């Protein structure tokens, strides 16, 4: 173990954390925004709409993210003239845009299924109750269905966040300088892979540890009704009733 190298490369690798979090954060946020309508379409009564949205989910869940990234980043090059004609080439030229697009489309597919599961777990009686007291559809969704669904979906969504943090490492293959790419760069200069990759791994591990704790905290906030009251009830001493004299 070369501790000098570890001390030297730690700050350099830590510089990549911003990039990793930015990639994961922006694709998770945009992906979530896309996932809600996809989940609703997945539950709709219209067959065509349902086929389209579940087809999207199926395609993006059953192909590797690396293929999706390469398809968007390198594949768009084949249509350079067409993209230039419609004025979109400046976006596809950026590896940044391609990485976020691929990660977003990928996470939207997974997240929509998590949300769908949450929505389906809302008991029908709750919706009937909302209707019977005359809540309009959107208000029932906002006040009732969505909060219940989120609570159900949160643990699975925590896993999705961790998967996304891990997935950002694939962006290193298309020239984005996040943690993995910086690690590779240091190694090509020092030829000491073990130390550098171990630190990089430790950084990812601590990021994901923070994510799991944060999710646990949010879960705690959202489920006050499930908390067991662990306080020991105070002992009430009663003065014994006087024994009546025989």
Which of 9, 111, 113, 167 is in the footprint of other proteins by CB under 8 A? Answer: 167
Distance from C-alpha of 184 to C-alpha of 201, rounded to nearest angstrom: 12
The secondary structure of residue 231, as a DSSP letter, is P
Q: Which residues in the 46-85 window bind other proteins by CB under 8 A?
A: 59, 61-68, 70-71, 74-79
Distance from C-alpha of 74 to C-alpha of 176, rounded to nearest angstrom: 14
Centroid of chain to Cα 149 = 16
Q: Is the dihedral of CA 113, 119, 123, 128 positive or negative?
A: negative
Minimum gap (Å) between residue 108 Cβ and other proteins: 17
From 202, 86, 109, select the one nearest 160 (Cα to Cα): 109
Stretch that binds other proteins, among 5-13, 28-36, 44-52, 194-202 (CB under 8 A): 194-202
Distance from C-alpha of 16 to C-alpha of 6, rounded to nearest angstrom: 15
SS3 189: helix
For residue 209, state whether it binds other proteins (rule: CB under 8 A): yes
For residue 112, state whether it binds other proteins (rule: CB under 8 A): no
Cβ neighbours around 203 below 10 Å, total: 19
Which of 43, 194, 217, 222 is in the footprint of other proteins by CB under 8 A? Answer: 194
Q: Which residues in the 118-137 window bind other proteins by CB under 8 A?
A: none
Q: With respect to other proteins, which residue has the nearer C-beta, 104 or 172?
A: 172
For residue 193, state whether it binds other proteins (rule: CB under 8 A): yes
Contacts of residues 122-126 at CB distance under 8 Å and 24 or more positions apart, as own/partner, are 122/148, 122/149, 122/152
For residue 198, state whether it binds other proteins (rule: CB under 8 A): yes
Stretch that binds other proteins, among 30-38, 113-121, 129-137, 177-185 (CB under 8 A): 177-185
Q: With respect to other proteins, which residue has the nearer C-beta, 140 or 167?
A: 167
With beta carbons less than 8 A apart as the criterion, state whether 34 and 106 touch.
Answer: no
For residue 183, state whether it binds other proteins (rule: CB under 8 A): yes
For residue 36, state whether it binds other proteins (rule: CB under 8 A): no
For residue 89, state whether it binds other proteins (rule: CB under 8 A): no
Stretch that binds other proteins, among 8-16, 117-125, 128-136, 162-170 (CB under 8 A): 162-170
Distance from C-alpha of 142 to C-alpha of 10, rounded to nearest angstrom: 45
With beta carbons less than 8 A apart as the criterion, state whether 98 and 73 touch.
Answer: yes
Stretch that binds other proteins, among 122-130, 137-145, 205-213, 228-236 (CB under 8 A): 205-213
Binding site for other proteins (CB under 8 A): 59, 61-68, 70-71, 74-79, 162, 166-170, 172-173, 180, 183-184, 187, 191-194, 197-198, 200-201, 204-205, 208-209
């Amino acid at each position: 173990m070369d501790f000098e190298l570890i001390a030297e490369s730690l700050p350099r690798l830590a510089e990549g954390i911003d990039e990793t979090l930015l990639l994961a954060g922006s694709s998770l946020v945009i992906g979530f925004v896309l996932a809600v309508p996809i989940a609703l379409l997945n539950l709709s009564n219209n067959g065509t709409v349902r086929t389209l949205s579940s087809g999207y989910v199926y395609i993006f869940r059953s192909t590797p993210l690396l293929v999706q990234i390469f398809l968007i980043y390198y594949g768009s090059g084949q249509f350079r003239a067409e993209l230039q004609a419609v004025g979109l080439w400046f976006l596809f030229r950026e590896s940044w845009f391609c990485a976020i697009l691929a990660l977003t489309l990928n996470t939207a597919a997974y997240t929509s299924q998590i949300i769908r599961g949450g929505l389906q777990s809302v008991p029908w009686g709750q919706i009937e109750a909302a209707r019977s007291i005359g809540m309009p559809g959107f208000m029932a969704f906002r006040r009732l269905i969505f909060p219940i669904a989120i609570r159900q979906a949160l643990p699975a969504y925590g896993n999705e966040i961790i998967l996304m943090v891990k997935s950002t490492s694939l962006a290193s293959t298309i020239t984005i300088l996040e943690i993995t790419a910086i690690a590779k760069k240091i190694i090509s200069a020092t030829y000491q892979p073990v130390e550098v990759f171990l630190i990089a791994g430790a950084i990812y591990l601590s990021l994901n540890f923070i994510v799991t704790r944060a999710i646990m905290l949010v879960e705690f906030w959202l489920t006050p009704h499930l908390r067991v009251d662990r306080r020991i009830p105070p002992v009430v001493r009663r003065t014994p009733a006087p024994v009546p004299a025989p």
